[in-house]
Amino acid sequence: MSGPDGMTESEIFSQHGIFEKPPAHLATGAFFRRMVQVCCVITAGLGVLGMIGWSSGLQNLASFGSNYIPMSPVVALALILLGGTWFLYVHTPEYRFGRVCALASAFFVLLIALLNLIQFLTDVHIGIEEFLAGIMGVNPETYGAGPMPSIVAASFFLACSAMILLLLASTRRRAAGLSAGISFVVILVNLVILLGYLYGSRELFGGEIRPVALPVGAAFVVLGLAIIATVGPDHFPLRILVGTSVSALLRRSFLLVISVVILTDGLVYNILLHLKVNVALLSALSSLIYVLPASIVVTYIARVVGGKMDRVELEREQALEELRIHENHLEELVEERVGEIKIINEQLKREISDRKGVEERLRESEIRYRSLFEQSPDGILIVDPETTVAIEFNEIAHHQLGYTQEEFKRLRIFDYEAKEKTEETKAHIQRVLKEGRADFETLHRTKDGKLRNVLVTVQTLELSGRIVFHAIFRDITERKLVEEELARRAAELARSNAELEQFAYIASHDLQEPLRTVINFTQLLAENYKGKLDKDADEFIEYTVDASTRMKKMIDDLLMYSRVSTRGKPFAPTDCETVLNQALDNLKMAIEESGAIVTRDPLPTVMADASQIAELLQNLISNAIKFRREQPPRVHVSAEQNENQWVFSVRDNGIGIAPEYFERIFMLFQRLHSAKEYPGTGIGLAICKKIVERHGGRIWVESEPAKGSIFYFSIPARRGVGRY
pLDDT at 24: 47
Share of the chain above pLDDT 70, in %: 70
Instruction: Give every CB contact of residue 651 below 8 A, 6+ residues apart in sequence.
Output: 635, 636, 637, 638, 708, 709, 710
Read off the pLDDT band of 635 (50, 70, 90): very high
Q: Nearest 5°: CA angle at 536, between 531 and 542?
A: 75
pLDDT at 388: 86
Average confidence score pLDDT of the chain: 78
66 vs 152, higher pLDDT:
152
Read off the pLDDT band of 12 (50, 70, 90): very low
**479, HSE (Cβ side, Cα atoms, 13 Å):** 7
> Rounded to whole angstroms, how far apart are CA atoms 648 and 86?
69
3-state DSSP call for residue 2? Answer: strand
Q: What is the 3-state secondary structure (H, E, C) of 167-212?
A: HHCCCCHHHHHHHHHHHHHHHHHHHHHHHHHHHCCHHHHCCCCCCC
Are 230 and 36 contacting, i.e. CB atoms less than 8 angstroms apart?
yes
pLDDT at 1: 37
Please, what's the b/e burial string for 435-472 (b: 16 or more CB within 10 A of its CB; e: otherwise)? eeebeeebebbeeeeeebbbbbebebeeeeeeebbbbb
- 231-272 pLDDT, tens per residue? 888 877 877 777 666 666 667 666 766 776 666 666 666 666
Are 78 and 163 contacting, i.e. CB atoms less than 8 angstroms apart?
no
| Poorest-pLDDT segment among 126-135, 234-243, 271-280, 422-431 | 271-280
Mean pLDDT of 650-657: 89
pLDDT at 9: 34
Mean pLDDT of 579-607: 91
pLDDT at 7: 39
261 vs 117, higher pLDDT:
117
> Rounded to whole angstroms, how far apart are CA atoms 535 and 532?
9
- Among 113, 101, 90, 96, which Cα is nearest to 34's? 90
All structural domains of the chain with their residue ranges? 4-234, 379-475, 481-553, 570-716
Evaluate whether 379-475 and 570-716 have a shared fold: no
At position 317, the amino acid (one-letter code) is: E
Burial classification of residue 487, based on how many CB atoms lie within 10 Å of its CB (0-12 exposed, 13-18 middle, 19 or more buried): exposed
In the sheet that holds 645-651, the strands lie side by side as 597-600, 634-642, 645-651, 709-716, 699-703
The H or E element that residue 472 is part of is strand 466-475
> Rounded to whole angstroms, how far apart are CA atoms 575 and 720?
13
Read off the pLDDT band of 155 (50, 70, 90): very high
> Rounded to whole angstroms, how far apart are CA atoms 338 and 341?
5
Specify the CATH class of 379-475 in words: alpha beta
pLDDT at 657: 86
| Poorest-pLDDT segment among 166-170, 248-252, 631-635 | 248-252
pLDDT at 330: 86
- 441-463 pLDDT, tens per residue? 888 888 898 888 888 989 988 88
Read off the pLDDT band of 2 (50, 70, 90): very low
Are 173 and 95 contacting, i.e. CB atoms less than 8 angstroms apart?
no
**549, HSE (Cβ side, Cα atoms, 13 Å):** 10
> Rounded to whole angstroms, how far apart are CA atoms 322 and 307?
22
CATH superfamily name and code, 570-716: Histidine kinase-like ATPase, C-terminal domain (3.30.565.10)
Selection from 273-277, 316-320, 637-641 with the highest mean pLDDT: 637-641
pLDDT at 651: 93
Instruction: Give every CB contact of residue 659 below 8 A, 6+ residues apart in sequence.
Output: 703, 704
> Rounded to whole angstroms, how far apart are CA atoms 131 and 92?
33
pLDDT at 103: 92
3-state DSSP call for residue 675? Answer: coil
Q: What count of other Cβ atoms lies within 10 Å of the Cβ of residue 11?
A: 14
> Rounded to whole angstroms, how far apart are CA atoms 289 and 293?
7
578 DSSP β-pair partners: none
Q: Is the dihedral of CA 422, 428, 429, 430 positive or negative?
A: positive
pLDDT at 398: 82
For the entire predicted model, the pTM comes to 0.41
Are 224 and 187 contacting, i.e. CB atoms less than 8 angstroms apart?
yes
pLDDT at 679: 58
pLDDT at 353: 80
3-state DSSP call for residue 418? Answer: coil
Are 708 and 653 contacting, i.e. CB atoms less than 8 angstroms apart?
yes
Pair type for strands 634-642 and 597-600:
parallel
Asked if pLDDT for residue 109 goes beyond 70, the answer is: yes
Mean pLDDT of 483-489: 85
> Rounded to whole angstroms, how far apart are CA atoms 607 and 573?
4
Pair type for strands 634-642 and 451-463:
unpaired
**501, HSE (Cβ side, Cα atoms, 13 Å):** 17
> Rounded to whole angstroms, how far apart are CA atoms 701 and 236?
87
Alpha helices in 22-72 (DSSP H): 30-56, 60-63
Are 594 and 628 contacting, i.e. CB atoms less than 8 angstroms apart?
yes
pLDDT at 500: 60
> Rounded to whole angstroms, how far apart are CA atoms 710 and 654?
10
Residue 577 vs residues 123, 162, 602, 638, 688: alpha-carbon distances, Å: 95, 73, 7, 10, 18
57 vs 472, higher pLDDT:
472
pLDDT at 69: 77
> Rounded to whole angstroms, how far apart are CA atoms 628 and 637?
17
Read off the pLDDT band of 16 (50, 70, 90): very low
Are 89 and 101 contacting, i.e. CB atoms less than 8 angstroms apart?
yes
pLDDT at 724: 44
**Would you call the peptide bond into 237 cis, given omega within 30 degrees of 0 as the criterion?**
yes
| Poorest-pLDDT segment among 89-103, 124-138, 169-183 | 124-138
Asked if pLDDT for residue 636 goes beyond 90, the answer is: yes
Query: From its phi and psi, is residue 264 left (phi > 0), alpha (psi between -120 and 50) or beta?
Result: alpha
**474, HSE (Cβ side, Cα atoms, 13 Å):** 13
pLDDT at 703: 87
Mean pLDDT of 553-581: 75
Read off the pLDDT band of 19 (50, 70, 90): very low
Pair type for strands 437-445 and 597-600:
unpaired
> Rounded to whole angstroms, how far apart are CA atoms 620 and 633?
13
- Among 152, 61, 146, which Cα is nearest to 109's? 152
Q: How many residues does the chain have?
A: 724
pLDDT at 723: 46
Asked if pLDDT for residue 576 goes beyond 90, the answer is: yes
Query: From its phi and psi, is residue 706 left (phi > 0), alpha (psi between -120 and 50) or beta?
Result: left
pLDDT at 13: 32
Q: What count of other Cβ atoms lies within 10 Å of the Cβ of residue 102?
A: 23
pLDDT at 607: 92
The H or E element that residue 603 is part of is none
Are 143 and 73 contacting, i.e. CB atoms less than 8 angstroms apart?
yes
> Rounded to whole angstroms, how far apart are CA atoms 649 and 699?
10
